[in-house]
Structure 1
């Protein structure tokens, strides 16, 4: 016997897989010191970790700043937008 899921259940399963990542992207607007400030204030990263992530954003064009359930990553992305940073959610390993 083969079990098949309705299309809606397949779509739901696909969106809930993961883990998911919050990715912050480089932009021409925000100062590097401000990005460090945001990472420290919002995520609670140490000065060294926040600086390391900021350099990844600056030199590599983006950095993964958090990983976990999709809902939480979407909240992080919204918070980054509220701070004026460009961020997106992606599935880890994608």
Structure 2
């Protein structure tokens, strides 16, 4: 079955608008308290949220710390690198 051209364009637009994610990865270098500090300082997270995300990074190997436009997520990744954390951008679920 072939989709009409209009349907294909709508699907492409939905895909382009899907949120992107900033993912922080576990590393063997940074202290857990430092990761909490970075999350609170840069993102303005509450102590509880920063601690919860840090534990996800520590126990699960990574955590999604932000979602939004790709350009903004790339800025977040650069900031995490500037703080010495490992981070990447990935396309979020649609």
Partner of 1:81: 81
Moved over 4 A (4+): 1-5
The answer (yes or no) to whether the contact 1:22–1:66 under 8 Å persists in 2 is: yes
Q: Is the 8 A contact 1:16 1:70 kept in 2?
A: no
State the shift of 1:17 in Å. Answer: 3.6
Do structure 1's residue 64 and structure 2's residue 67 form an aligned pair?
Answer: no
State the alpha-carbon separation in 2 of the partners of residues 39 and 49 from structure 1: 9
SS at match of 2:28: coil
Deviations 1:25-82 (Å, cap 9, x if unpaired)?
0000000000000000000000000000000000000000000000000000000000
Write the distance in 2 (CA, Å) between the matches of 1:2 and 1:31: 52
Structure 1 residues 16, 71: CA separation in 2 closer, same or farther (over 3 Å shift)?
Answer: farther
Q: Which runs of 5+ in 1 are unaligned?
A: none
Q: TM-score, normalised by structure 1?
A: 0.83
Contact 1:18–1:70 under 8 Å retained in 2: no
**Unaligned residue ranges in structure 2 (runs of 5+):** none
Is the 1:21–1:73 Cα contact (8 Å) retained in structure 2? yes
Q: Give the deviation of 1:2 after TM superposition.
A: 4.9
